[in-house]
Amino acid sequence: MYKVVGRIGGVLLLGLLIWVMINYHIINQEEVEIDLENRMNSEFDEEIAPNFTLNAIDGDTITLEDLRGQAVLVNFWASWCQPCLNEMPAIQSIYNTYGDSGLEVLAVNIGESRNTIEDFQIQFPELEFHLLLEDDIIADQYMIINLPTTYFINPDGTIETHYRGELSEEQLAVLVNDILPED
């Protein structure tokens, strides 16, 4: 009797788990397809982006203020974050397309060790933009509450907008075009 009840309970639990996973996937897919009019705008946007100086995996030191005059995409990510990993190829493609037009991409890793990021870089050698190590302050300065979060910074250093969640290449292209330097 106990074996039958245990099996029924196990089947019900498995069914519930599958239902949750399917619905979670559907909800996440809907978030990806959100119209760009729903991007995150706040009183923080249109202000000067908080400056930071961070170390890159390649040994460079990057200071945001030094990039004035360029459009800057700052992406906050982690290697355990599947939406972050999903959008990395799209970010690289946008960097390939707009890098010569004045776009700089900074990918700020949140909460992981240098070794973890170096392992990530080995798995994704095609990424040519800067992978930066967090300094424990930047996530608070940029009000990071979930990953990925991407900020789009104008050449004058003001924040044009930011977006919480995974972005497609098409969405990135629209947002990047809004911040590219004028010729």
pLDDT tens for 9-31 read 555 555 555 544 545 444 444 44
- Confidence (pTM): 0.77
Pick 1 or 82 by higher pLDDT.
Answer: 82
Distance in angstroms (rounded) separating the CA atoms of residues 61 and 81 = 25
**pLDDT tens by residue, 26-78:** 444 444 444 454 455 555 567 999 999 999 999 999 999 999 999 999 999 99
Residue 62's SS3 state is strand
